[in-house]
């Protein structure tokens, strides 16, 4: 139980350090993060994420600010650790309960279209895994 609570606190620190949020439950974010090794953001994870962000950059569908925010969010924390390679592919991935984690290029387009400014308010409905919410939090918005 203590490990679970520590993981929840650490996830808050990493993903929501700049976010003013209300009514967000982080249980979903911890659902698959039951072991410390799955919770790490290793050089391998960062390299896979960098390649994914470069692929999205090459498509010219998002601003650099959005891509920077996505680079800071470890997408592999939002899916089962057994599917690490899938975490950094540009397609939606099932996460259970009939939901999916959004395709990264879709997150990039949606976030770019929002044209967020610090302090803006965003109503996030049907957050699924919470990945989009974590990206939005990098813009210092109220969710």
Letter string b/e over residues 111-137, b meaning 16 or more CB atoms within 10 A of that residue's CB: beeeebeeeeebeeeebbbbbbbbbbb
Helix axes 43-59, 104-114, angle to 10 degrees: 60
Contact present, 108 and 62 (Cβ < 8 Å): yes
Q: Is 102 an annotated catalytic residue?
A: yes
Of 22, 37, 42, 102, the catalytic one is: 102
**Closest to 113 (Cα-Cα) out of 136, 93, 96:** 136
| Residue numbers annotated as active site | 102
């Amino acid at each position: 139980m203590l490990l679970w609570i520590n993981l929840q606190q650490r996830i808050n620190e990493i993903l929501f350090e700049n976010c003013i949020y209300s009514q967000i439950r982080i249980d979903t974010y911890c659902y698959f993060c039951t072991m410390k090794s799955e919770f790490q953001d290793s050089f391998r994870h960062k390299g896979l994420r960098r390649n994914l962000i470069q692929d999205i950059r090459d498509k010219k569908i998002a601003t650099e600010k959005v891509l920077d925010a996505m680079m800071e969010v470890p997408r592999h924390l939002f899916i089962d650790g057994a599917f690490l390679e899938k975490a950094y592919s540009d397609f939606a991935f099932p996460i259970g309960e009939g939901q999916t984690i959004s395709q990264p290029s879709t997150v990039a387009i949606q976030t770019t279209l929002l044209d967020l400014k610090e302090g803006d308010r965003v109503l996030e409905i049907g957050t699924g895994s919470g990945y989009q919410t974590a990206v939005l939090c990098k813009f210092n918005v109220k969710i």
